[in-house]
Structure 1
Amino acid sequence: MTSFNTFYNTWCDHLSQLVRQLATAPRAPTTPDQHWDLEHLVAKTMTHYAEYYRAKSAAAERDIFNIFAAPWASSLERSLHWIAGWRPTTVFHLIYTESSILFESHIVDILRGQRTGDLGDLSPSQFRRVSELQCETVKEENAITDELSEWQDGATDLMGERANLDEKIGQLVSVVQKADDLRLRTVRRVVELLTTQQAVEFLIVAAELQFGVRRWGLEQDRQRGN
């Protein structure tokens, strides 16, 4: 097992602990201390994600092909990967889905003018900012995809006697690091445009999706004897 495999397992365990803390914290804090505690938990979770990408960047520089192979992930997880990780625009599908579910569950209260303060209670301004960020993210995704395609188109150069292998590998590392930077920036910018309560709910459902896909993928691998 590589050092990044070990790191990833430990990192997931710590993320699970943070999610449990988020889930048990008061969603609508009534005191300044409770509000600060909630903000602190959100900041800790975001720092934890940043730590993952720092470690992954270092691992990519050591062995970029191992990062693409992702032996720590299930077959299902790898099938969903976009440039060695999740597609950044997945964040927006998650926001819209969760917002729709919560809106429908609270529609009677909302029609009565009661505010829930959760992801089902996004303001028009928040929806506009989410939509704008989604458009920006799609453009960046496409640009990075094009960069990877160019790298792949030049794969035959790797077989040439004059090929600069280190330079080609360095370019691939750069593509993955750009993709990871977009992943982290997308989550950060979404969290910034949400209220603290909404950010907590978003981080919980995002982690639950990650854990759910992982559990199901590992179970499928076990059944196939992988």
Structure 2
Amino acid sequence: MGSTTSFGRFYETWFDQLHHLVHQLRQVPKPPTTQDDATHLCLLVDKLVNHYAEYYRVKSVAVERDVLSVFTASWASSLERSLHWIAGWRPTTLFHLVYTESSIMFESHIIDILRGLKTGDLGDLSPSQFRRVSELQCETVKEENAVTEELAEWQDGASEFMGSSCCSDIDDKIGRLVRIVLKADDLRLRTVRKVVEFLTPQQAAEFLIAAAELQFGIRFWGRNEDLHRHSL
């Protein structure tokens, strides 16, 4: 319980810092109007990606200590937990986000684009960028499916787990689950980094802001629903 409570406190602080970093990112002109703005934008994008990396570093310690508590995620709302894939968000969600944001921005700038003007935002993704998104999506789907199969195999052995009186068998079973969750988290972080890599700094900033806003919205709505349900 102690490690779960500790990670829950860390998550609250980390989430507040995410709000702060996204607020800073929103303040930078897009596209950057000066070299200083461009440098600042790159630094903030790196800082935000490193913020996610820090989350998974701390989470890995919590997983090693008590993977079952991380799976139940008491610090998350019921809505957040219902959307989880192996103790976190599904990596392929990021590609749907890129396509959605690109479509929205493309439509909002359609007149400028027809005039041959470059917007430089997610609505202005090049053919090579779209190709890289598609290739990375295919690779990620394969990895995601492989980890899902590992968890399914782990769950299929639940009867053996429940019927075992041998501590070493139980420890081995829990150890396998730890490795599955760490593998899923590694895929999540690698996917964020790879998407950011093939975007321009402006596009990466827009992508990270959209991803965070989705996270903020789900958490806010989920908490409100939980509060409303508990007050009935």
TM-score (norm 2): 0.95
Q: Deviations over 1:49-96 (max 9, x none)?
A: 000001111001111111010001000000000000000000000000
Task: Give the match for residue 90 of structure 2.
Answer: 87
The amino acid that maps onto 1:24 is Q
Q: Residue 26 of structure 1: SS of its match in structure 2?
A: coil
Structure 1 vs Structure 2 CA RMSD: 1.1
Equivalent pairs: percent with the same residue? 68
The answer on 1:21 being equivalent to 2:24 is: yes
Task: Give the match for residue 197 of structure 1.
Answer: 202
| Aligned 8 A contact 2:80 2:219 in 1 | yes
The answer on 1:173 being equivalent to 2:215 is: no
Q: Take 2:43 and 2:108, find their aligned partners in 1: how far apart are those partners?
A: 29
Q: Residue 2 of structure 1: SS of its match in structure 2?
A: helix
Q: Take 2:136 and 2:75, find their aligned partners in 1: how far apart are those partners?
A: 31
Task: Give the match for residue 161 of structure 1.
Answer: 165
- Runs of 4 or more above 4 Å deviation: none
Match of 2:218 among 210, 213, 216: 213
Instruction: Specify every segment of 5 or more residues in structure 1 that has no aligned partner in the other structure, as ranges.
Output: none
The answer on 1:149 being equivalent to 2:152 is: yes
| Aligned 8 A contact 2:78 2:222 in 1 | yes
Q: Deviations over 1:111-164 (max 9, x none)?
A: 000000000000000000000000000000000000001111111221223461
Q: Take 2:89 and 2:165, find their aligned partners in 1: how far apart are those partners?
A: 35
Task: Give the match for residue 109 of structure 1.
Answer: 112
Residues paired across the two proteins, number: 226
Task: Give the match for residue 60 of structure 1.
Answer: 63
Q: Take 1:10 and 1:118, find their aligned partners in 2: how far apart are those partners?
A: 31
Question: Cα distance, 1:33 vs. partner?
Answer: 2.2
Match of 1:186 among 185, 191, 198: 191
Task: Give the match for residue 49 of structure 1.
Answer: 52
Question: Cα distance, 1:29 vs. partner?
Answer: 1.7
TM-score (norm 1): 0.98
Question: Cα distance, 1:27 vs. partner?
Answer: 1.4
Task: Give the match for residue 100 of structure 1.
Answer: 103
Instruction: Specify every segment of 5 or more residues in structure 2 that has no aligned partner in the other structure, as ranges.
Output: none
Q: Residue 164 of structure 1: SS of its match in structure 2?
A: helix
Match of 2:15 among 12, 16, 20: 12
Task: Give the match for residue 6 of structure 2.
Answer: 3
Question: Cα distance, 1:187 vs. partner?
Answer: 0.6
The amino acid that maps onto 2:98 is I
Question: Cα distance, 1:32 vs. partner?
Answer: 2.5
The amino acid that maps onto 1:51 is E
